[in-house]
Amino acid sequence: MVIRRWSIAVLFVLTAGCAGSPPFETYSIAQVALDAARRADASQYSPGNWAKADEAFNRGEIAYRDRDFGSATEYFQRATIFAEKAENISRIKKFQSGGVQ
């Protein structure tokens, strides 16, 4: 009987730990970063970083829909990093070419 109680308790803790909470904040930050990169014409001036950001965000959305919140968080964080790089590179290239920022 004691073993059964411990088994149930351990199962409950493991299940609760895996569920996690939806990464609302991480999703929002990634979305804003992608929007800023899009406005900076990142797909034109930094296509590699833009593609990585877009792909990571799309994978994050899939993981989110599958309720794999841990993976979704990681993908959204990657998307943010690549989107910010793409935006910065775009702004630098525009500045260097005399374009409007």
| pLDDT tens figures, 22-62 | 999 999 999 999 999 999 999 999 999 999 999 999 999 99
Asked whether residue 4 is assigned to any structural domain, the reply reads no
Residue 18 has pLDDT above 70, yes or no: no
Long-range contacts of 95-100 (CB under 8 A, 24+ apart): none
At 56-93, the pLDDT tens digits run 999 999 999 999 999 999 999 999 999 999 999 999 99
Asked whether residue 14 is assigned to any structural domain, the reply reads no
Residue 94 has pLDDT above 60, yes or no: yes
70 residue type, one letter: G
Distance CA 69, CA 74 (A): 9
Asked whether residue 58 is assigned to any structural domain, the reply reads yes
Asked whether residue 2 is assigned to any structural domain, the reply reads no
**pLDDT for position 30:** 98
Q: Is 1 or 96 the better-scoring residue by pLDDT?
A: 96
Distance CA 21, CA 69 (A): 7
Print the domain residue range for 76: 21-96
